[in-house]
């Protein structure tokens, strides 16, 4: 398949699996919004607005994590329930284009939420450089969690399990660790555990960009996030099952 056909293929997957469902059923979007913005609202109300920046960093981290992990649920569904993946495998579509198309289709659902969050962060006085660095962190975290989604979808025996596993991991990665709060408030013995979780690094970088100060050294945060991205991509490339054995 040449470059133009490849682009058409990528566009078709994104358009029909992402954009079209979002337009037909906006509830998909509401689903992406619901938990991160609920937690943001609770923090905002409970703190009389003072914890809003933490809420914004947390919501940005959680939405990005959700969007990545939902890819795993989608892939499990296309593979095990719809059998759409069987049609794709026996076609000129490459595994990379399919994965990338499904991942981007999921990102489309989250785009409105991400735009609103970036608007709110800008409203907190974040500079353009800070917003660009936030965007970079979003991309790294998205690639990491998308890879994690792929990884778990390969093991999911059915779509129900895929949904449960991804819901559980979303909570474990974006509610429990210091995502909606600073790593500094954790008891010291939990800090080493928290800093190896990529969402902790991402949220710390968002918190720094918003002006809350970096609770983890930014260079270390970026480095750790990059390493997590690399490790997850590597794990996926070993585990990916395009043709079954």
Partner 1 sequence: MKALTARGLTKVYRKGKQPALDSLDLEIESGQIFTMLGRNGAGKTTFLRIASTQLLPTSGSVTVLGLDAVKEAKALRERIAIAPQEAETIYPLTPRDHVLLGLRMRGMEKEEAAKRAREALEDLELTDVADTNSDWLSGGLKQRVIVAMVVRTDADLIFLDEPTIGLDPVNRRRVWDQLTRLKRTGKTIILTTHYMDEAEALSDSLVIINKGKVMAAGTPRSVKAAVTSRTTRVDVFDSFDRSELGAFGHVVTIAGRYRVLTDASGARRLGDEAVARNASIAISPVTLDDVFVDIVGEAEREGENGS
CB 136 within 8 A of CB 221: no
In b/e form, how buried is each residue of 176-210, taking b as 16+ CB within 10 angstroms? Answer: ebbbbbbbeebeeeeeeebbebbbbbbbbbbbbbb
- For partner 1, the closer of residues 219 and 243 by Cβ is 243
CB of 245 to partner 1, least distance (A): 5
CB 162 within 8 A of CB 72: yes
- For partner 1, the closer of residues 1 and 45 by Cβ is 1
CB of 107 to partner 1, least distance (A): 18
- For partner 1, the closer of residues 5 and 127 by Cβ is 5
CA dihedral of 71, 96, 108, 41, whole degrees rounded to 10: 40
- For partner 1, the closer of residues 8 and 47 by Cβ is 8
Helices 198-210, 128-155: axis angle to 10 degrees equals 160
CB of 28 to partner 1, least distance (A): 9
- For partner 1, the closer of residues 106 and 201 by Cβ is 106
Binding site for partner 1 (CB under 8 A): 1-2, 4-6, 8-9, 11-13, 16-17, 20-21, 24-25, 78, 81-84, 86-93, 101, 243-245
CB of 81 to partner 1, least distance (A): 6
CB of 195 to partner 1, least distance (A): 39
- For partner 1, the closer of residues 33 and 98 by Cβ is 98
Q: Comparing C-alpha atoms, which of 85, 135, 88 is closest to residue 107?
A: 135
Handedness of CA 194, 195, 197, 200 (dihedral sign): positive
CB of 67 to partner 1, least distance (A): 19
CB of 171 to partner 1, least distance (A): 25
Instruction: Give Cα separations from 97 to 89, 100, 131, 137 (angstroms).
Output: 11, 5, 29, 23
- For partner 1, the closer of residues 83 and 231 by Cβ is 83
Distance CA 179, CA 21 (A): 30
């Amino acid at each position: 398949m040449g470059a133009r056909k490849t682009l058409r293929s990528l566009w078709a997957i994104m358009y029909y699996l992402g954009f079209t469902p979002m337009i037909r059923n906006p509830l998909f979007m509401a689903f992406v919004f619901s938990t991160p913005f609920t937690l943001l609202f609770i923090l905002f109300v409970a703190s009389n607005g003072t914890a809003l920046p933490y809420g914004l960093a947390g919501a940005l981290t959680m939405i990005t994590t959700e969007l990545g992990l939902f890819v795993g649920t989608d892939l499990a569904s296309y593979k095990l329930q719809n059998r759409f993946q069987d049609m794709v495998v026996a076609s000129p579509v490459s595994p990379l284009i399919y994965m990338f198309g499904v991942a981007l289709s999921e990102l489309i659902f989250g785009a409105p939420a991400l735009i609103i969050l970036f608007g709110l962060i800008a409203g907190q006085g974040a500079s353009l450089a800070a917003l660009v660095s936030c965007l970079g962190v979003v991309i790294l975290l998205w690639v990491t969690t998308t890879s994690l989604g792929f990884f778990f979808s390969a093991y999911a025996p059915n779509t129900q399990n895929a949904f449960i596993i991804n819901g559980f991991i979303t909570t474990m990665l974006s509610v429990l660790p210091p995502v909606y709060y600073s790593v500094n408030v954790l008891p010291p013995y939990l800090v080493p555990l928290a800093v190896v979780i990529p969402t902790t690094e991402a949220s710390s970088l968002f918190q720094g960009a918003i002006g809350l100060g970096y609770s983890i050294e930014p260079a270390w945060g970026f480095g750790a996030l990059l390493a997590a991205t690399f490790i997850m991509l590597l794990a996926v490339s070993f585990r990916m099952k395009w043709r079954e054995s």
